[in-house]
Amino acid sequence: MAKRPKHPPVLLYHSIAELGETLEAGACAFRAQMEHLARAGYRSLTPNEFLQGLDTGEWPRRAVFITFDDGYLDFHDVAWPVLREFGLNATVFLVHDGLEGGIQAWTGPTYPVMPPLLSWAEVLEMQGKGVYFGSHTLSHPELTKAGMEVLTAEIAGSKRALEERLGEEVALFSYPYGGAPPAAPQAVQDAGYRAAFGVAPAAPTRFELFRRIVKPARTLVPFRLRVSRAYEPLRCILHVSRGEKC
């Protein structure tokens, strides 16, 4: 059995509006979270730094990897200014066809109607300014229900298409809806990615790494716990109490 990769907290966001009842409330929550990271001395990692840590097993003190799935417009309008204010960076996993205007809607994790997505204009504006990009497939399908042909096209095709437009390597991948069928991690590796993220895989590997979803909360306490060393032990205790594997 492959050894479970050890790495700093990987935070998962989608739309900033998910963090509150309104976009304004979500923006306030996000700013408080990033202020906490900055004041507590956390260092946000770039993709290359994260990959180097996976290779060497050595990490900066109080490291954190901040990720956003889907590429919603409120990342550009709300999250990016806050990240810059506190000297933090983030990695956004893009759905290629959404950038091209080829997707009008999909049902995301909580929204019955999809918020607006980034365009290439916003992506290129942020590139090289503390924002990094990974792949989230071409069209955001549920890969657990996809055949091998679709799986390969979505995973490898999105990497090629994004790299052509960005002019740089796209080394990281994240699975839509957080789920990866058994064949997906090998397809990701074969496509040339260097690591991939799920949400809470039963047996994490380099090509299906664990992330901590940042959820709405009335106070900052749950977020502070989510980035702390106590998170994994407490999560394990909770699973065991439910009769589940840790």
To the nearest whole number, what is the mean pLDDT of the chain?
Answer: 90
Tokens of 240: 């065991």
| Domain coordinates in residue numbering, the chain | 10-241
pLDDT tens digits along 3-48: 678 899 999 999 999 999 999 999 999 999 999 999 999 999 999 9
The predicted structure's pLDDT at residue 106: 63
What is the reported pTM? 0.92
* Whole-number Å distance between alpha carbons of 136 and 95: 5
Q: What is the pLDDT of residue 105?
A: 59
96-122 burial, b if ≥16 CB within 10 A, otherwise e?
bbbbeeebeebebeebeebbebbbeeb
pLDDT of residue 119 exceeding 90: yes
- Segment 41-58 mean pLDDT: 97
pLDDT of 135 strictly over 70:
yes
Per-residue confidence band for 1, with pLDDT thresholds at 50, 70 and 90:
very low
Let me know if domain 10-241 sits in CATH 3.20.20.370. Answer: yes
Band of residue 229 on the pLDDT scale cut at 50, 70, 90: confident
How far is residue 111 from each of residues 108, 129, 240, measured CA to CA in Å? 5, 29, 31
pLDDT at 245: 63
135 in Cβ contact with 172 (< 8 Å): yes
pLDDT for residue 198 = 94
Q: Checking phi first, is residue 53 left (phi over 0); if not, alpha (psi -120 to 50) or beta? A: alpha
Assess whether pLDDT exceeds 70 at residue 146: yes
pLDDT (average), residues 218-228? 93
CA torsion 102→175→130→6, rounded to 10°?
-170
pLDDT value of position 200? 86
